[in-house]
Structure 1
């Protein structure tokens, strides 16, 4: 097995060095670790938790020994009763650890510890909303599930000791008793760590006190006063060197940035990368809202695991790592998306990992410009095409499914890229800022919560978008063709045909699509709203088009086959003589057209995001000339497309509204 793991690591290293299409192949530690542990990882199904209580506080008072390897703990849990009467609670703790006693005050409680849970008989009956507080005393050798939830390791060619935790997703009970539920955050926490003086011991929040004990040990007391999910509580211990600087936001807010790094890793090159944390904090505070734990700290604690883990206020990090800067950006983005707002369930993990992966793109764009962003997101989209199943995770008992690199990370990030393409840059970042300041702040969220915020800011429904991309499978495979034809008045009609291969769920994808049209008078980009498997769009241009490019900015995850048909092909649609008067207009418009035969007619108006904002009922009309009056006073000033559909054929005109 050791040889197999070495071969896997060599293969991964090779991929990191040469896979140019996937620029951050090794930037996310969870993906790398899964590759390494694929053959022997213990896949731990989630257990039912006690939803009769609401956890309000954890205090971990731990004594950690490296030789022999064990921990001894006193964990205080405060909770609130959620039911009418409560006389017992269930807490999660692996059977590899021994529960010595449980107390409320000085009174010992009766308990049964089996099947990785402790059933505790309380000292009395608690009324609804009544608070309770108990202490669990335990000891033993921590178990290890998922990504290795608690490790006694080494560094510096095995010369030096290191200890760390990594509880995501289900590993917290491997080393401390808790309610192992992602959607029940404690309001605050304390972590006290006592160990040999060799160790500098690091955890969440701020270091409140360091105590030198008479037995030669040292105690570090860490205090966190922000809500925290159980899997984000962490410890990291080694002979660290502390490397510090400051984050100053807009000349007003100052916060320490603390990097706890193995001495042999604190090179000048790694310092340069770590120093960029301050720039990232400033960038993301402007893009996402102020860093959410500004009253405490941000920083890193190096560990021996292959990548990074977004422990609240103190990311655990491999140093160095391929893609080091983007790894820092990824884990820092998690402080907003994953820590401040945590997915309500593991099925919705894309709200953590897809967003953090997109944070890499935001950083890449800020430092390398649009071309660098385009290349980075293209690599994500290439990977996303290999994803199987829905982004909404169907099997959360398997961490390979939860942390699928192509689906949860890369396709999740691609969804945000597409959303940005639909709503525009300003509204996209307003959506992210509104989301991080919403009712979900310092709590939990589902896709539906994020969708509600996106719709609130955008001002339009996005059901079609989230339903197909989060709860649907695959991606659209388009075929696109177009032709142009001169018209008697010197203009040119362009007919663009869009069709999709049939999919499973959804049968086809509904998306606004940009078309870039090149011609003698320059380039112009229009947006059409494709909501049918096969659809035809028509436009009138003042000059002959030389090219029509489908999705020129790569805003859609897709495959595309383009067939260009240019020049003097026989016209295959009628000239309906469509006119709009007045144009521009502020109130009513008269839409005139002619029919050469009995036809079914429908008139619609589409805004430039591709959304249909007005639609008249279908009419069956005979041969003749017609005029229809439309009221547009409710429209905002802007440019729209008025479309006339006659028996499935479309003729369009640009409509300008003014106030």
Structure 2
């Protein structure tokens, strides 16, 4: 399924809709803003309780007339100013009941002045009448005319706003932590040939003067970026999904008529996905059981999907080319991102990492362990590529890098995978304490927001102190880059294996990652032994007794760790921190000075051509020790028969050239 996603993005780019860097989802950044440092909703002057948004869309252009009724509660003694995000829109009037309120409409903000001020704890509803002009650039609110570009088969309007673009289609306090606890209503009036959808359930459709109004109500707490609408020439069809306890929900799908048959194929597994994620031994009941789940497919669309609460928006090509992974990912967001939302954008890995882990879990459930491992390996590859381009921690990526695929999605999914490993919850068909901890996370922060430290605290109920793990994997950058050497050693009682491990993790990373590792040891005569190895130093040597001579090892056989590793055998000297695994390294000759014979060692990060030579102090070639292709790992060469004097040992490997002095006595 991953190549299909790549194909979809390639075709999209070919049509002129350019995907953002390293993301498969509908995510945008808003330059110039800074994530707020907020402890809770109560620290703001007011708390939004409910949004009602009434839109009137002509659909002949990108204009609209609208009214947004905001019910809010004052958190201060006398709330006399309500500051709202409001961009590229024009406010015509503001009312409180029958009274007009004074307001200031600037380029990016709308400031409303209640009169009299609102007492602390009191709630009021402010009605804001506003409009969008036809010439406004698409952002947050998108409108495309039928026939105005390739494959624009029908006129379409829709909203896509993460992280902070809801302000481009309705006035709001546009932060994820200020959820409207009573939900929202989105009522869309369009020409009567059009259909409109939004969050929640459709209460009714009314008709007047050649127009229809679709009245949608969502009664669960919701962040602004998860409120949406879409309007076009849609066909509408419904599936049903079991969510446990004998209950079911409708899965409502809105697609262009010509895509109806193909959408049945694309969405065929969605009821099974809902049922799988909803299992009481997995992630628990679907979070919006009184309403629905659904999809609306739109085009043009710059990305793949967006997890609007109860109504995911997807690219039309996800239907035409069947992106099962993307469809599973967006559904997973109903638990991770919608049910519990990251408190602010520093914490975005909580949303995306969890959802990114659930779609490989679906693949394991549906297609087996190999499909799961392939998906996780794809994540690892994408992360290593991203890390090589720009290394950063998962936490607080900055708004411009919030949605880079390799970190926010792929590495974050691996953090979930490794946490599961620490739980010992490693039998795929028998979910254990990691799944239990995920349900505890849901129970603790249901319909609210969460932080990294709060997630850590949940895990610590089962695992004890997890500060070291979150420090290394979330608040610092990089990954463990292991060099492993092993050798057998006969003992009085039989055999043991001696294993050395070193880590060269690079800038911004810990000196060493302490995540325990597993090593599978193959034994002479058949059979194997699985070792569980705690990492406490860099470098580290440990010996493990065995019943027979060891003949081979597999590092991390269960594929639970995000890492790279180079393995050698037979070198009995302990590793040192200077053992390089990221570039070729020439180690100092030993002994030095030498009497007649010396050993030269070098290490390679990967297989490559080398030239190892001895030269005099004038640079003239004295002896060629090695030449040609050598495997990754540690190598050595012996020097004999040189006359007394000073020599230079030189290693050339690709662009790297290193020289060491050798004295022969």
Please, what TM-score do these two structures have when normalized by structure 1?
0.77
**1:168-212 C-alpha deviation (Å, 9 max, x unpaired):** 111101010000111000011111111111211000000011101
**1:585-642 C-alpha deviation (Å, 9 max, x unpaired):** xxxxxxxxxxxxxxxxxxxxxxxxxxxxxxxxxxxxxxxxxxxxxxxxxxxxxxxxxx
The residue correspondences of 1:330-409 to structure 2 (distance < 5 A) are: 330-386=329-385, 387=387, 388-394=390-396, 396-398=398-400, 401-409=401-409
Query: Which residue of the partner structure matches residue 98 of structure 1?
Result: 90
Q: Distance in 2 between matches of 1:361 and 1:485?
A: 41
The residue correspondences of 1:552-631 to structure 2 (distance < 5 A) are: 552-565=557-570
Distance 1:79 1:137, change over 3 A: same
1:300 corresponds to 2:295:
yes
Distance 1:307 1:279, change over 3 A: same
The residue correspondences of 1:261-340 to structure 2 (distance < 5 A) are: 261-268=255-262, 270-286=263-279, 287-304=282-299, 305=301, 306-321=303-318, 322=321, 324-340=323-339
Query: Which residue of the partner structure matches residue 76 of structure 1?
Result: 69
| 1:288 and 1:432 in contact (8 A); partners too | yes
Query: Which residue of the partner structure matches residue 170 of structure 2?
Result: 176
**1:204-250 C-alpha deviation (Å, 9 max, x unpaired):** 0000111011x211001101110000011000111111121111234
Query: Which residue of the partner structure matches residue 614 of structure 1?
Result: none
1:59 corresponds to 2:63:
no
Distance 1:392 1:549, change over 3 A: closer
Q: Distance in 2 between matches of 1:498 and 1:144?
A: 59
1:152 corresponds to 2:143:
yes
Which runs of 5 or more residues in structure 1 are unaligned? 1-11, 573-659
- Post-superposition shift, 1:15? 8.7
- Post-superposition shift, 1:384? 1.0
Count of residue pairs brought into register by the alignment? 541
Query: Which residue of the partner structure matches residue 229 of structure 1?
Result: 223
Q: Distance in 1 between matches of 2:23 and 2:370?
A: 33
Q: 1:162 aligns with which of 143, 156, 163?
A: 156
| 1:476 and 1:500 in contact (8 A); partners too | yes
1:189 corresponds to 2:176:
no
| 1:391 and 1:412 in contact (8 A); partners too | no
Query: Which residue of the partner structure matches residue 504 of structure 2?
Result: 501
Q: 2:31 aligns with which of 44, 54, 72?
A: 44
Please, what TM-score do these two structures have when normalized by structure 2?
0.77
Q: Distance in 1 between matches of 2:380 and 2:23?
A: 24
Secondary structure at the counterpart of residue 288 of structure 1: coil
Q: Distance in 1 between matches of 2:329 and 2:309?
A: 13
Q: Distance in 2 between matches of 1:435 and 1:291?
A: 14
Q: Distance in 1 between matches of 2:184 and 2:545?
A: 65
Query: Which residue of the partner structure matches residue 204 of structure 2?
Result: 209
**1:138-159 C-alpha deviation (Å, 9 max, x unpaired):** 01238988x9421112568334
Distance 1:331 1:122, change over 3 A: same
Q: Distance in 2 between matches of 1:36 and 1:227?
A: 27
Distance 1:222 1:521, change over 3 A: same
1:436 corresponds to 2:427:
no
| 1:90 and 1:118 in contact (8 A); partners too | yes
Query: Which residue of the partner structure matches residue 141 of structure 1?
Result: 133
1:124 corresponds to 2:119:
no
Aligned-residue RMSD, C-alpha: 2.9
| 1:203 and 1:222 in contact (8 A); partners too | yes
**1:358-392 C-alpha deviation (Å, 9 max, x unpaired):** 11111111111111111110110111112333343
- Post-superposition shift, 1:65? 1.7
- Post-superposition shift, 1:351? 0.8
| 1:75 and 1:137 in contact (8 A); partners too | yes
Q: Distance in 2 between matches of 1:126 and 1:338?
A: 32
**1:565-596 C-alpha deviation (Å, 9 max, x unpaired):** 29xx7999xxxxxxxxxxxxxxxxxxxxxxxx
| 2:274 and 2:286 in contact (8 A); partners too | yes
- Post-superposition shift, 1:288? 1.0
Query: Which residue of the partner structure matches residue 6 of structure 2?
Result: 16
Q: Distance in 1 between matches of 2:5 and 2:441?
A: 36
| 1:102 and 1:135 in contact (8 A); partners too | yes
**1:481-519 C-alpha deviation (Å, 9 max, x unpaired):** 111112223x21221111111533322211100011111
| 1:45 and 1:396 in contact (8 A); partners too | no
**1:290-334 C-alpha deviation (Å, 9 max, x unpaired):** 110111000101111131110000001123325611111000000
Q: Distance in 2 between matches of 1:295 and 1:217?
A: 29
Query: Which residue of the partner structure matches residue 641 of structure 1?
Result: none
Query: Which residue of the partner structure matches residue 547 of structure 1?
Result: 552
Secondary structure at the counterpart of residue 142 of structure 2: strand
- Post-superposition shift, 1:420? 1.6
Distance 1:530 1:42, change over 3 A: closer
Q: Distance in 2 between matches of 1:143 and 1:55?
A: 30
Distance 1:545 1:37, change over 3 A: closer
Secondary structure at the counterpart of residue 275 of structure 1: coil
| 1:233 and 1:311 in contact (8 A); partners too | yes
Query: Which residue of the partner structure matches residue 413 of structure 1?
Result: 413
- Post-superposition shift, 1:83? 1.7
Q: Distance in 2 between matches of 1:56 and 1:467?
A: 36
Query: Which residue of the partner structure matches residue 652 of structure 1?
Result: none
